[in-house]
Amino acid sequence: MVNNITKTYSTSEIRALKTRYDKLLSEVSLHDRLYYRENNPRISDFEYDCLKSEVERLQEILSVYAVEIEDTAIGDDRNSGFQSFAHPSPMMSLSNTYSREELFQFSNHLEAMLGQQKFSYAIEPKIDGIAINLIYRRGKFFRALTRGNGTVGDDVSANIKTIRGLPLEIENYAEAIEIRGEVYMDKQTFIGINKMREEQELELFANPRNLAAGTLKTLDLDEVAERDLKLITYAIGHSSEKIVDLQSEVLELLKNFGFASQEKYWIAENIEEAWRCVEELDSTRHIFPYWTDGAVLKVNELQLYGILGATAKSPRWAIAYKFTPERATTKIKNIVLQVGRTGIITPVADLESVQLSGTNVSRATLHNADEISKKDIRVGDYVTVEKAGEIIPAIVAVDSIRRNVDSIPFVFPKTCPSCGSQLIQLPGEVAWRCQNLCCLPQIQRRLEHFVSRTAMDIDGLGSVIIEKLMAVKKLNNIADIYRLTFNDLEGLEKFGTKSALKILSNIDHSKNRPLWRLLHGFGILGIGEQTAKILASHFHSLDNLIAATSEELEQLNGVGIKLSNAIVTFFREQHNGNILNDLRMLGVVPGDRRLEISQNQNSKFHAKNFVLTGTLSSMTRQEAAEKIEHLGGSVANAISKQVNVLIAGENCGSKLGKAQSLGLEIWNETDLLENLNGVVA
């Protein structure tokens, strides 16, 4: 935004400003590289925007004093591995502001430029994702390009095609039309992925925007499809024909083309009304399935865009108003080192509790030793905490001025804080690990994982009880769970007869859980729920899997050298072999999926291929897929001749037409439910 320069500067002040400008410019270029190319930002969007706005302010002052300066480069997301193509019309970005006053200034500017012309505003959520340009030729999907440098972008068509519901045909037969939108990852998917990573003790993704950006540039299409990216469109770029007159009509038209539409948008007659819409968006955005980091205000009358024009980087007919992330200042009481299931040592800041975005925050992960030394975070420091992506509290800054004179840098230990073993750093990893398998917190985490909902699902055996049972030496490994007696449990402090009996019954019920649950429960490095399911449905029994060679394992989808090694080493280990024998003797015999399937051979699902499309009201598509697989069917992503049945929910896209043209059987949700009810699941 344009600021007026009121102060007069001396020559030495200008020289100092130039030095600061050069320093900030190199910082911006570092953060541009981390954000656009590596999808791994080191500072928050808010900090970046503040930095950028200072650079722009300095640029303005220095240009008034005719100082020659290098300009900020335009962010560029292109990577090798993708072919680049020119955008039919350039992809600009939006100027942004965090201030209400500047938003009103934007409106004053518009009024000054448009004089007597009446205009209104369209106010839309600003989706926190990655800009995409979808090109359709004569109504058919042709190509999807990232913004790149604004003129030339990467062709990510194959990745974009994994997005469910993307219309491959639209009712616009213009020679070429560009449809602009945002690719994003919704809250549920992002939280789910991080939950799974937490279980596997992998580093958590910091925010959904960067995960979506990384996914969009992933070469493995199965991995892209699994990440379940989503798309919302909000503009038409170049079109060989004029189509509509208003931005509100653009949004409706895109919906009619079959694109997913904005959760909500508003039309306002003046800036005061527009501001109320922005406030309404701010108070309701938490219920949206995607993250919004602001509002985009656009002039609603498209014919005025030509009059208003653009600066070198952004159009004058729109602005992004960004919501200031909630931040709070608090004190680090202590830095605690947690030992995870696989021995990774994670430093966590124990904070004086503080309110942030409606929740009480008293801990924040410090990720790893590098992060602590990079930010020089110390016990006793006053720090600024921000909630990245509205969920994970992160320390974004340390107030070194409020630091005590006797404060000392945090020294990351060389030995395990729990068992004292030497810590090691594996090649290519930043994390420090304790390798002692008998280290007590590791055993406890392994037991917690084994009984967890996504593994053997033993309800009631929570971490407090596990800890108590470990303290009295009743639990040392997973086989001991099946040796627990009524007396062991009832003997625990404050433990009732009813609870003890319930837990024993839950333990007993878990003995015949499906094989994949047992495999997942073992916590073999890198084997999550998905890979456990692949292994179970291929090998059917633990004995078959134990007998498998690395070569056999590597034939399976999603199992590479690293995983096959981890599996073989796990089963070869003597101590693990003993525990497996104990489990067998104690009656832990996983259910064989083939039996379940053969019992359901008469079901309408047995040995058939299904594709799910659109929204189901009684369950998610994931849940429906699990039920189908349980009944012997399989579920594919795309329509082909191999598919037998398309299950079409509400608002389905082009899959329905394709299935009809291939003459496939089509079920609606009622058909699905009737067929599910007709069998014993």
Judged by beta carbon, residue 311 or residue 355, the one nearer ligand IVH is: 311
Per rule CB under 6 A, count of chain residues that contact ligand IVH: 15
Q: Indicate which residue of 126, 230, 298, 474 is catalytic.
A: 126
Judged by beta carbon, residue 317 or residue 610, the one nearer ligand IVH is: 317
Token pair 């508003």: residue:
266
Among residues 28, 123, 253, 296, the one that binds ligand IVH under rule CB under 6 A: 296
**Closest-CA residue to 206 (of 379, 387, 51):** 387
Cite the beta strand spans of 194-256 per DSSP E. 230-239
Indicate whether 320 belongs to the interface with ligand IVH (CB under 6 A).
yes
DSSP 8-state code for residue 338: E
Among residues 28, 55, 61, 92, the one that binds ligand IVH under rule CB under 6 A: 92
Tell me the closest approach of the beta carbon of residue 164 to ligand IVH, in angstroms. Answer: 20
Tell me the closest approach of the beta carbon of residue 298 to ligand IVH, in angstroms. Answer: 7
Indicate whether 151 belongs to the interface with ligand IVH (CB under 6 A).
no
d(C-alpha 177, C-alpha 19), whole Å: 46
Candidates 10-18, 86-94, 536-544, 568-576: pick the segment binding ligand IVH (CB under 6 A): 86-94
Judged by beta carbon, residue 127 or residue 278, the one nearer ligand IVH is: 127
Tell me the closest approach of the beta carbon of residue 145 to ligand IVH, in angstroms. Answer: 13
Among residues 166, 216, 235, 297, the one that binds ligand IVH under rule CB under 6 A: 235
Q: Are 371 and 360 in contact (CB under 8 A)?
A: no
Tell me the closest approach of the beta carbon of residue 315 to ligand IVH, in angstroms. Answer: 5
**Closest-CA residue to 164 (of 119, 120, 226):** 226
Tell me the closest approach of the beta carbon of residue 202 to ligand IVH, in angstroms. Answer: 29
Q: Pattern 124-143, binding to ligand IVH, x per CB under 6 A?
A: x-xx---x------------
For residue 548, what are its two tokens? Answer: 């498998």
Could you tell me whether strands 359-365 and 345-356 are parallel, antiparallel, or unpaired per DSSP bridges? antiparallel
Tell me the closest approach of the beta carbon of residue 356 to ligand IVH, in angstroms. Answer: 24
d(C-alpha 593, C-alpha 609), whole Å: 17
d(C-alpha 49, C-alpha 96), whole Å: 8
Candidates 119-127, 352-360, 388-396, 483-491: pick the segment binding ligand IVH (CB under 6 A): 119-127
For residue 116, what are its two tokens? Answer: 């007597």
End-to-end CA separation in angstroms for the chain:
61
Indicate whether 234 belongs to the interface with ligand IVH (CB under 6 A).
yes
Q: Is 126 a catalytic residue?
A: yes
d(C-alpha 299, C-alpha 316), whole Å: 9
Token pair 């029994």: residue:
541
Candidates 67-75, 314-322, 396-404, 444-452: pick the segment binding ligand IVH (CB under 6 A): 314-322
DSSP for 212-224, written as a single string: HHHHHT-S-HHHH
In Å, how far from its chain's centre is CA 378? 30
Judged by beta carbon, residue 206 or residue 296, the one nearer ligand IVH is: 296
Q: How many residues does the chain have?
A: 681
- C-alpha distances in angstroms, 307 versus 94, 114, 271? 17, 8, 20
Q: Which amino acid is at 23?
A: K
Could you tell me whether strands 345-356 and 327-339 are parallel, antiparallel, or unpaired per DSSP bridges? antiparallel
Judged by beta carbon, residue 72 or residue 550, the one nearer ligand IVH is: 72
Judged by beta carbon, residue 124 or residue 669, the one nearer ligand IVH is: 124
Tell me the closest approach of the beta carbon of residue 86 to ligand IVH, in angstroms. Answer: 17
Indicate whether 315 belongs to the interface with ligand IVH (CB under 6 A).
yes
Considering only residues 265 to 284 of the shown chain, the ones binding ligand IVH according to CB under 6 A are none
Contacts of 22 (CB under 8 A, 6+ apart): 70
Candidates 3-11, 87-95, 113-121, 485-493: pick the segment binding ligand IVH (CB under 6 A): 87-95
Tell me the closest approach of the beta carbon of residue 47 to ligand IVH, in angstroms. Answer: 16
Q: Are 290 and 262 in contact (CB under 8 A)?
A: no
Candidates 88-96, 112-120, 223-231, 445-453: pick the segment binding ligand IVH (CB under 6 A): 88-96
Candidates 70-78, 100-108, 315-323, 673-681: pick the segment binding ligand IVH (CB under 6 A): 315-323
Tell me the closest approach of the beta carbon of residue 46 to ligand IVH, in angstroms. Answer: 13
Indicate whether 94 belongs to the interface with ligand IVH (CB under 6 A).
yes
d(C-alpha 372, C-alpha 383), whole Å: 13
Considering only residues 29 to 58 of the shown chain, the ones binding ligand IVH according to CB under 6 A are none
Tell me the closest approach of the beta carbon of residue 181 to ligand IVH, in angstroms. Answer: 8
DSSP 8-state code for residue 591: B
d(C-alpha 146, C-alpha 127), whole Å: 16
- C-alpha distances in angstroms, 135 versus 172, 178, 180, 638? 12, 5, 9, 21
Judged by beta carbon, residue 247 or residue 330, the one nearer ligand IVH is: 247
**Closest-CA residue to 540 (of 522, 560, 563, 514):** 514
Judged by beta carbon, residue 179 or residue 611, the one nearer ligand IVH is: 179
Judged by beta carbon, residue 303 or residue 660, the one nearer ligand IVH is: 303
Judged by beta carbon, residue 310 or residue 636, the one nearer ligand IVH is: 310
d(C-alpha 88, C-alpha 315), whole Å: 17
Q: What are the strands of the beta sheet with 359-365, ordered from one edge?
A: 359-365, 345-356, 327-339, 382-388, 392-398
Q: Are 75 and 36 in contact (CB under 8 A)?
A: yes
Indicate whether 93 belongs to the interface with ligand IVH (CB under 6 A).
yes
Contacts of 637 (CB under 8 A, 6+ apart): 162, 164, 225, 611
Judged by beta carbon, residue 301 or residue 669, the one nearer ligand IVH is: 301
Considering only residues 616 to 655 of the shown chain, the ones binding ligand IVH according to CB under 6 A are none
Candidates 91-99, 435-443, 496-504, 580-588: pick the segment binding ligand IVH (CB under 6 A): 91-99
Q: Are 261 and 255 in contact (CB under 8 A)?
A: yes
Indicate whether 182 belongs to the interface with ligand IVH (CB under 6 A).
yes
Indicate whether 213 belongs to the interface with ligand IVH (CB under 6 A).
no
DSSP 8-state code for residue 37: I
Candidates 71-79, 120-128, 346-354, 594-602: pick the segment binding ligand IVH (CB under 6 A): 120-128
- Binding positions for ligand IVH, rule: CB under 6 A: 92-94, 96, 124, 126-127, 131, 182, 234-235, 296, 315, 318, 320
Active site residues: 126
